[in-house]
Amino acid sequence: MEHLGRESPNDLATIKRILVVGAGAMGSQIALVCARAGYEVLCHDVAESSLERARKDLRSRSARDVAKGRRDAGQEAAVFRRLVFGTDLDALARDVDLVIEAAVENLDLKRRIFAQLEEVAPKHAIFATNSSSFVPSKLADATSRPDLFCNIHFFNPALVMKCVEIVAGPETSAETVELAKAFVVRIGKEPVVLKKEIPGFIANRILNAVRDEAVFLYENGVASVDSIDAACRTALGYPMGPFELMDLTGIDIGYFTKKARFAETNDPKDAPSRSVTELVERGDLGRKTGRGWYEYAEDGTPLGPA
Ligand SMILES: NC(=O)c1ccc[n+]([C@@H]2O[C@H](COP(=O)([O-])OP(=O)(O)OC[C@H]3O[C@@H](n4cnc5c(N)ncnc54)[C@H](O)[C@@H]3O)[C@@H](O)[C@H]2O)c1
């Protein structure tokens, strides 16, 4: 497919201006990562309140980094001059080379965003989604540039986590993958390329497989929750065990992801497990409710298995 404006499709120098769509937990930090790497970044959200929160949050993180001597005050001031926030998607998209979409995880909404971007963004612009669950083939056909479409999937918190997965769909061109890879290196992250799409990608699939095995061992009476967590920490070098991690991220998050997956596949191994379902039905969702696999004091100190 012919695309105007980029002489060599894998020339990283052709990426100058980046649009981040969605200024929530992920989008705001992705925007700062890109601005710190020297890019001009336009950060869009439909909600003025989200933009305000993002501005405040990024400013205070930056001030903390400067106070601790981790960042230079002058350089950070220049970073924020390169970072523009706004609610007018059409105006912001008019002259960008790369879009990273990080709006809420809703397929119709994401498709609508990409269809609108198709109308206003330059023909050469690469379209990427940060979605954790929607693979390129679910979104790329909302545009007429499936060859320029991929997932660029950051991990939370995006300012800290090194890994960025790049997911190629069936129609993503090799040049787009190469360019995405070079871009990820340029912003100081470690690209991991998936040669073909698969729901959950790599890191979360492995994380989920470990979690499912931990729940299997517990439900079959092989060991207690804290023993399984201890084995993962002390034998495998994990920073925390799978049950501790579920309590931290929220037991409902994994539960709803599995429910949605099961609705799609009807494969019993995708269904939420008995013990997880019981916890969610009781409202014991982990640290945020004071009780999950473990119990927590008011100040968040773990008190032992629940
Ligand atoms: N949170 C994570 O751990 C994580 C990790 C990796 C990837 N992701 C992916 O990142 C994306 C965003 O997740 P998040 O955790 O930042 O969500 P979030 O809820 O913190 O932020 C989503 C933002 O999207 C905005 N939004 C809603 N509709 C919009 C629209 N039409 N146009 C522009 N913005 C719109 C909301 O106002 C909100 O500010 C999702 O696709 C998710 O799968 C999340």
pLDDT, position 7: 52
pLDDT, position 6: 54
Closest CA to 241 of 225, 227, 249, 229: 229
Local mean pLDDT, 10-residue blocks, the chain (306 residues): 51 95 97 98 98 98 98 98 98 98 95 98 98 95 98 96 98 97 98 94 95 97 98 97 95 90 89 97 97 96 95
Q: How many whole angstroms separate alpha carbon 1 and alpha carbon 183? A: 22
Among the atoms of ligand 1, which is closest to the Cα of residue 131?
Answer: 41
pLDDT digits (tens, 9 = 90+) for 279-302: 999 999 999 999 999 999 999 999
pLDDT digits (tens, 9 = 90+) for 190-234: 999 999 999 889 999 999 999 999 999 999 999 999 999 999 999
| Distance of CA 71 from the midpoint of ligand 1 (Å) | 27
pLDDT, position 8: 54
Neighbour-count burial of 87, counting CB atoms closer than 10 A to its CB (0-12 exposed, 13-18 middle, 19+ buried):
middle
pLDDT, position 10: 60
26 is in an annotated binding site: yes
Catalytic residue ranges: 132, 153, 165, 204
Pocket of ligand 1 (CB under 6 A): 21-27, 44-47, 50, 102-105, 109, 113, 130-132, 154-156
What domains are defined for the chain? 12-194 (3.40.50.720), 203-305 (1.10.1040.10)
Q: Print the SS3 string covering 198-243.
A: CCCCCHHHHHHHHHHHHHHHHHCCCCCHHHHHHHHHHCCCCCCCHH
pLDDT, position 27: 98
pLDDT, position 253: 87
The helix (H) or strand (E) run that includes residue 279 is helix 274-282
196 is in an annotated binding site: no
